[in-house]
Amino acid sequence: MCIGIPMQIVEVYEDGISGVIEAGGTKKHCFFMLIDNPKVGDYVLVHAGNAISKLDEQEAKENLELIEQCLLGAKGAVE
Amino acid sequence: MQWSKFKDKDLVLSLAHGIKQKAKKFDRLRIMHVCGTHENAIARYALRDLLPNNIKLLAGPGCPVCVTSSKDIDAIINYGIKNDCTILTFGDMLRVKGSAYSLLSASKLGLYVKMVYGLDEAIYYAKQAKKDAIFFSVGFETTAAPVASIIKSVNLPENLSFFSVHKYTPNGVLELLKAGKLNIDALILPGHASIVSGLAPYEKVASSFNLPCVAAGFEPVDVLGAILMIINQLEDNICKVENEYERLLNYEGNKLAQKALNDIFDITDSIWRGLGIIKNSGFEFKKTYNYLNAKLKFNIPFSDSYTEEQKGCRCAEVILGTIEPPQCPMYAKICNPHNPVGPCMVSDEGTCRNWWEVKGDI
Amino acid sequence: MTFDKITMDHGSGGKLTLELIENIFKANAGLDSAILGDIAFTTDSHSITPLFFRGGDIGKLSVSGTMNDLLCVGAKPMYLSSAFIMEEGFLISDLKKIVQSMLSEAKSANVEIVCGDTKVIESNKGFYVNTSAIGKIIRPIDGSKIKEGDKIIATGNIGEHGFAILNERENLQLTSHLASDCAELTGLILPIIESDLEIHWMRDPTRGGLAMCLNELCYKRDFGVEVFEELVPISQEVLSISEMLGIEPYYSANEGKMVIVVPPKDASKILDLLHKHPLGKNASLIGEITKDHPQKVLLNLSYGTKRLLSMPIVEKMPRIC
């Protein structure tokens, strides 16, 4: 199952490779073998019960800036 | 949090406006995406309606359920019934027909199927089951990598084995382009699959076929942002691989995932439904893991010959972007979500299913 | 569509259920209860897995669902029958719990359970409850007065029952506070029926969710429905689960909500009344009746685009990616 929304790690089990993730009050088991150093509080993207990527607010912000830049180019072309 | 901004109304409308202005310079642009989740987002937010008429957004072979060969489905059904095994798989795989039955309809022949949401759940069920359980392991590298990593690090019950029908997107796309089967001007690359593979495998696609390739996320801002980036490339007459999904996707991809895939699987030829055998486009267990490979463990009869589709089904043309679903004479008449003739009508990721949901009988 | 056998989809409350009612039972699928002069009469059989779920059990459901069906046609619920079909081996303690739920729900609706029946079948065949009920028509609401421009109100957050049950039934291993919204709505709806405010149509959006309910509203009629995505009340929890499973909340069942069609002049007064009751605090105007596209439900998205909200035909399955 592919979860488009980022989910937050709320627990990392002792094995270090699994734990619990949460979004909007719903919690779910998750494996962390495919990300480095999973920590409580991290946001992750989850696929088929496995976190495949981490993200933070700064990256999301930069991503938005990238798109806005493209848009500026588009507006520039119009004017 | 910033995530909700990727649905932001003003930003979406500005992007749509920007695309409209810039697209005027082009007669016609055919942009293909190769991910079921993209098609789902495009249909759900009616994003095609925000685009000018000269931009055609085509759904390529990106629904993993839809490209699963009917031969593979027949094989797992036959084996499951003959040997009284539990078949475990994802929900949207259940309704896809093989040559006669789907996993779901085969339950009336005595097949025991259990829908699962991930391999962790499959392991849980296998432990409970007293008989052999086979995980019908379907999906692109996004699913294959998690499966590989779990196999590597979790103790699996002895009665659980795997029937891999995993596919590898970059080579699938590349081979279809080589065969001249895709008549397109640009590609939107699958955001999540690319998180695993990275973007390097698509360099050949961009350079050899002069196609702008932009990897995109799945929110409306992502999809429209990627289209704008594609148009910017075309305008500047360049064709390169770009990353719209920077917040989650690195150019190199996920090294841990790539290692897990390399450790467990070999890249092999694979049958894509309706498209035939595509070179180097599938994942099969390495010899070391023969004991997990249900095809070998149980000697499941498996033919690698090419399978014809259900008579009259035009799903293959749909996933190549040659026709739109309503151009298939069976669409919404004989073929609908209750009685899907072809695979594209089954999953919420399937192109026909998505069209049917948001446009109806037309 | 033609079938030679009943499939699970015939019971999903979607298009195939509707076809069964029309083609085999040769009945009119239009109203939730029969209007017989001053009397409303309805019946409902209940089967659910699991029998006990967060937010209720089959007992509570079997009373509330039937009460709500009476309210739909403008009736005050009065008397209820209950019939049990139960498998050999069923625990008496479970039966007691179920009966207790029925009694307390009946008390809340101020109705009396006046007759019943008991059957026992072989083990492993399940547990089912049928309830029938009669109510006194305060004023008949039969959908005949629906007009273009009428407003559509949903009495609260949608999708909760469906996702709560799916999670438990399919063992999704999601830990969530989400509970079924299962509730009888007499306290919420009766004051409106008894007021002088006009109501043109009412239905509880159960199986098939809000999408099915709105499709039934304009089924074979000369009008269609416009819904506005931004106005449909959905909790954060339901939104998250919906994203996780790839199933939209519009297709998830409700067991304690009502969809009400009212003339524009009374819409805000009815909303005010609803907001005063705890079960109606999230009530919202979600759409309107239009002549532009008869028999179709269109969802207006926040980007100014529209799409069909189709009549569900098969139960939605979680997606792989």
Give the count of domains, chain A: 1
Is there a contact between B333 and C2 (Cβ–Cβ < 8 Å)?
A: no
DSSP B204-251: HHHHHHT--EEEE-SSHHHHHHHHHHHHHHHHTT---EEES-TTT--T
pLDDT per position as a tens digit, C8-25: 778 777 788 888 888 888
What is the Cα C187 distance to its own chain's centre? 16
Same domain, C244 and C200: yes
**CATH of residue A17:** 2.30.30.140
Same domain, C155 and C88: no
What span, in angstroms and rounded, lies between the C-alpha atoms of B134 and B117? 15
Please tell me the distance in Å from A63's CA to the nearest CA on chain B: 6
Is there a contact between B87 and B113 (Cβ–Cβ < 8 Å)?
A: yes
Query: Does C195 fall in a domain?
Result: yes
> Which of B142, B154, B225 faces A52 most closely, judged by CB atoms?
B142
What span, in angstroms and rounded, lies between the C-alpha atoms of B215 and B200? 11
Is B45 near chain C, with CB under 8 Å?
A: yes
State the pLDDT at residue A1. 46
**Other CB atoms closer than 10 Å to residue C124's CB: what's the count?**
8
- Residue C261: DSSP 8-state: E
Nearest to C205 by CA among C247, C242, C270, C257: C257
A15 CB contacts (<8 Å, ≥6 apart)? none
Residue C263 has pLDDT above 90, yes or no: yes
C-chain residues near B138 (CB < 8 A): 320
> In this predicted structure, which of B75-84, C216-225, C261-270 has the lowest mean pLDDT?
B75-84
What 3-state DSSP class applies to B31?
strand
Is A47 near chain C, with CB under 8 Å?
A: yes
Token pair for residue B98? Answer: 């093989």
**Quick one: closest CA in A to C237, which residue?**
A24
Neighbours of chain A (3+ CB pairs under 8 A): B, C
Is there a contact between B102 and B94 (Cβ–Cβ < 8 Å)?
A: yes
Residue C88 sits in which domain range?
Answer: 31-137
Using the 3D structure, point to which of C137, C162, C184 is the last residue of a domain. Answer: C137
State the pLDDT at residue C205. 96
Residue A76 has pLDDT above 60, yes or no: no
**Quick one: closest CA in A to B23, which residue?**
A74
Using the 3D structure, point to which of C72, C106, C137 is the last residue of a domain. Answer: C137
Token pair for residue B156? Answer: 């699996």
Query: Does A36 fall in a domain?
Result: yes
Same domain, C54 and C174: no
Antiparallel, parallel or unpaired: β B276-285 and B265-272: antiparallel
Query: Does C127 fall in a domain?
Result: yes
Tens-digit pLDDT string for chain B (362 aa):
567 889 999 999 999 999 999 999 999 999 999 998 898 899 889 999 999 999 999 989 888 888 898 889 999 999 899 888 999 998 888 888 888 888 988 988 899 999 888 888 899 899 998 899 999 999 999 999 999 999 999 999 999 999 999 999 999 999 999 988 888 999 999 999 999 999 999 999 999 999 999 999 999 999 999 999 999 999 999 999 999 999 999 999 999 999 999 999 999 999 998 888 999 999 999 999 999 999 998 887 765 555 556 778 888 888 888 898 999 999 988 888 878 888 888 777 788 988 888 877 65
> In this predicted structure, which of B65-69, B158-162, C110-114, C143-147 has the lowest mean pLDDT?
B65-69
- Residue B293: DSSP 8-state: B
State the pLDDT at residue A78. 44
C-chain residues near A48 (CB < 8 A): 320-321
Is there a contact between C184 and C237 (Cβ–Cβ < 8 Å)?
A: no
The model's confidence at residue C64, banded by pLDDT at 50, 70 and 90, is very high
Is C175 near chain B, with CB under 8 Å?
A: no
Query: Does C230 fall in a domain?
Result: yes
**Other CB atoms closer than 10 Å to residue B75's CB: what's the count?**
21
**CATH of residue C271:** 3.90.650.10
Residue B102 or C138, more confident: C138
State the pLDDT at residue A77. 47
Token pair for residue B333? Answer: 């008449």
Query: Does C35 fall in a domain?
Result: yes
Give the count of domains, chain C: 2
State the pLDDT at residue C55. 94
Query: Does C302 fall in a domain?
Result: yes
Same domain, C254 and C286: yes
**CATH of residue C60:** 3.30.1330.10
CA–CA distance from A68 to each of A64, B190, B191, B225, B265 (Å)?
6, 21, 19, 9, 40
State the pLDDT at residue C29. 66
State the pLDDT at residue B304. 56
Cα dihedral across residues B80, B100, B269, A34: positive or negative: negative
Using the 3D structure, point to which of C137, C169, C184 is the last residue of a domain. Answer: C137
Residue A54 sits in which domain range?
Answer: 5-72
Query: Does A79 fall in a domain?
Result: no
Is B278 near chain C, with CB under 8 Å?
A: no
Same domain, C119 and C54: yes
Between CA B247 and CA B255, with CA B253 as vertex, the angle to 5 degrees is: 125
**Other CB atoms closer than 10 Å to residue A79's CB: what's the count?**
5
Query: Does A65 fall in a domain?
Result: yes
B-chain residues near A53 (CB < 8 A): 195, 248-249, 254
Please tell me the distance in Å from C247's CA to the nearest CA on chain B: 9
A-chain residues near C174 (CB < 8 A): 26-28
Query: Does C63 fall in a domain?
Result: yes
pLDDT per position as a tens digit, A18-73: 999 998 888 988 999 999 999 999 999 998 889 999 988 888 899 999 999 988 87
**Based on the number of CB atoms within 10 Å of its own CB, is B352 exposed (0-12), middle (13-18) or buried (19 or more)?**
buried
- Residue B308: DSSP 8-state: P
Q: What is the mean pLDDT of residues C170-178?
A: 80
What span, in angstroms and rounded, lies between the C-alpha atoms of B326 and B304? 31
Interface of B with C in 80-109 (CB under 8 A): 90-95
